[in-house]
Amino acid sequence: MLRPTAPSRPPEGQRTGGYADMCDHSRLDVQKTVESARCDKYPARLHVRKVVKELGVDNGIIYLPGEPTRLYEDSDMGPAFRQRKYFYYITGVNFPDCAVTFELATDRLTLWIPFVEPRQILWFGSTPDASRAMELYDVDEVRYTSQLPKFLHANLGPSSPTLYILHPNQAPHVATLPRGSYRVDFLSLQPAMDRARVVKTDYEVDLIRHANAISSAAHRRVAVNLLDMENESDIEAAFQSICTTRGARDQAYAIIAGAGPNASTLHYDANNQPLEGKQLVVVDAGCEWKCYASDITRTLPIGGTFSTEGAAIYKLVERMQDECIAAIRPGTLYFQLHLKAAAIAIEGLLKLGILRGDVHDIAQAGTVSAFFPHGLGHHVGLEVHDVSGDDRLLLLTDSLKIEGGKREMVPPATLVSLLREAITSAATGRYKGRQVLEPNMIVTVEPGIYFCREYIEGYFLSSPTHGKFIDRDVLEKYYPVGGVRIEDDILVTPDGYENLTSAPKGTEMLNLINGDFQCV
């Protein structure tokens, strides 16, 4: 197939139609509040005002390009479209080749859209034209991108001397202006947007609630059908199928369906191994709804019943999760929840005989990281691992983020320093850089206990510091468990929390797997 070339001329007359309908109801049975919120426009102007408040300036122009159309190298095919989330935050627009400007002095939000020529419509359908986009989006004006360089040329200068952008490589083309007539600031905008994004608006909460409703239905379907499934791929297919038929084809991250030892690989995604002969399967999967993520993990016994060891580890992780969720309210320091989960894990693993020795010595050594090696959770929003503003939920640097930005690792030395910090901060009452939970933040609580032979043998059993605290013979019985993780998305409310995730877990999940189910 040939692709038409990029649009080059402004529109002649109006076109109707377009596929980006914000009020497109899918076949879902959710609360009326969610339905009505979905029918309103995405609150782009509210969001840009939050950004401006954080930016703390009253002059200049904010400029953000949306995601352009991309092709693979030497190919006329490209990846599935995924909007730039900072751009989406102040537009609600989910199609390629757009841009947005906000003029701070006049409080004017302008959406810049591509003009789509009729021959392109033949191949790809249409994105909204300017008049349809005005109806769909909460902006002050919609214009065509071909006019953008001229607009910037006319509006940057002595009266509006600063252009705020996210990154140097997102600087726009500006028709020639005298040198020094404006400056480009690529340092202030991203931190301001991160501070704005970390506390969700009610509209955003409803979108994440809806993503959770769909993902929870998909997890329910996996539980109901588990005994008929033979391979990890059946789980992936069942999950994806429910999301797709409910209008949420995009996943917030690659589905993880890891059985047996694969359950101990944190970001396993091959999802192609037989279930037979394995004890448990970890299913970590969450769809996006209108660009907003959900992030849910369930661990299911493959034959419908937990082994003795599997049940013990499931109960322990369940307790870690329940007690941490129960402690969520405004003012909670999230990093202390991680320490709470770690303390429960130490106590539980001592009881099971996997750990041995003095509880304080084990805590001081950080040995529990052998089994609970990652952070308790993260913010959820436009990204599954969403921005956290100036402060941090858990670690103060990015150096322990695995795979360039995913989940945080918590090795022993880090756990020990968190513990020390908790003690000294409690004495001084100062928690520099540590995030305190606020209403309308949404965080995951996702404790896990894993038996990854390579990790445990490579870094712990072979270490004089840790080896003495681990009973190898008892541990050997637990390797077949693989791993258990349970993960829910928790909204912080003014007086506590609301669990947005209704995917079955615990006894409800077991009943569903074994036939005591309702239709999904």
What is the number of alpha carbons within 13 Å of residue 288 lying toward its C-beta? 18
Show the binding pattern over residues 366-405: x = contacts ligand GLY (CB under 6 A), - = does not. ------------------x---------------------
Nearer to Mn ion, 45 or 219 (CB): 219
* Burial class of residue 27, CB neighbours in 10 A (0-12, 13-18, 19+): exposed
Plot region of 470 (φ>0 → left; ψ -120 to 50 → alpha; else → beta):
beta
487 binds ligand GLY (CB under 6 A): yes
CA-CA distance, 309 to 48, in Å (whole number)? 51
| 234 contact, one of ligand GLY, Mn ion, none, CB 5-8 Å limit per kind | none
Which position among 86, 95, 253, 497 is part of the footprint of ligand GLY (CB under 6 A)? 253
* Binding residue for Mn ion, selected from 138, 206, 234, 284, defined by CB under 5 A: 284
Minimum distance, C-beta of residue 73 to ligand GLY, in the bound complex (Å): 29
| Cα 378 to the center of its chain, rounded Å | 8
Closer to ligand GLY by Cβ: residue 204 or 488: 488
Helix (H) or strand (E) holding 258: strand 256-259
Rank residues 206 and 295 by Cβ distance to ligand GLY and give the closer one.
295
Residue 384 CB, nearest distance to Mn ion (Å)? 7
Among 97, 138, 232, 295, indicate the residue that binds Mn ion (CB under 5 A). 295
Residue 287 or 333: the one with the smaller Cβ distance to ligand GLY is 287
Q: Which is nearer to Mn ion, 64 or 198 (CB)?
A: 198
Taking the C-alpha atoms of residue 454 and residue 191, their distance in angstroms, rounded to an integer, is 39
Identify the helix (H) or strand (E) that includes residue 445: strand 442-445
Q: Which residue in 97, 129, 206, 446 binds ligand GLY (CB under 6 A)?
A: 446
91 or 444: whose CB is closer to Mn ion? 444
Instruction: Please answer whether residues 314 and 295 qualify as being in contact, where contact means their C-beta atoms are separated by less than 8 angstroms.
Output: no
Contact 44, 109 (CB under 8 A): yes
The H or E element containing residue 508 is: helix 506-513
Determine, following the binding rule CB under 6 A, whether residue 489 of this chain makes contact with ligand GLY.
no
Cβ at position 284, least distance to Mn ion in Å: 4
The listed partner (Mn ion, ligand GLY, none) that binds 236, CB under 5 to 8 Å by sort, is none
Q: Which residues pair with 487 in a beta bridge?
A: 297
- Using CB under 6 A as the binding rule, whether residue 295 contacts ligand GLY is answered as yes
* Range 426-465, binding Mn ion (CB under 5 A): 444, 446
Geometric angle at alpha carbon 70, from 66 and 73, rounded to 5°: 150
Question: Given CA atoms 376, 380, 384, 386 in this order, what sign does their dihedral have?
Answer: negative
Contacting residues for 512 by C-beta, under 8 A, at least 6 apart? 220, 223, 224, 504
For Mn ion, the closer of residues 166 and 296 by Cβ is 296
Between 156 and 283, CB nearer to Mn ion: 283
Which of 338, 407, 434, 466: binder of ligand GLY (CB under 6 A)? Answer: 407
Distance CA 306, CA 304 (A): 7
101 binds, among ligand GLY, Mn ion, none (CB under 5 to 8 A by kind): none
User: For the window 207-246, what string marks contact with ligand GLY as x by the rule CB under 6 A?
Assistant: ----------------------------------------
Smallest distance from ligand GLY to CB 268, Å:
11
| Inter-residue contact 153 to 175 (CB < 8 Å) | yes
397, burial (CB in 10 Å: exposed 0-12, middle 13-18, buried 19+): exposed
Which among 134, 111, 124 is positioned nearest to 76, based on CA atoms? 124
Residues near ligand GLY (CB under 6 A): 253, 284, 295, 384, 407, 446, 487
Interface residues with Mn ion (CB under 5 A) are: 284, 295, 297, 444, 446, 487
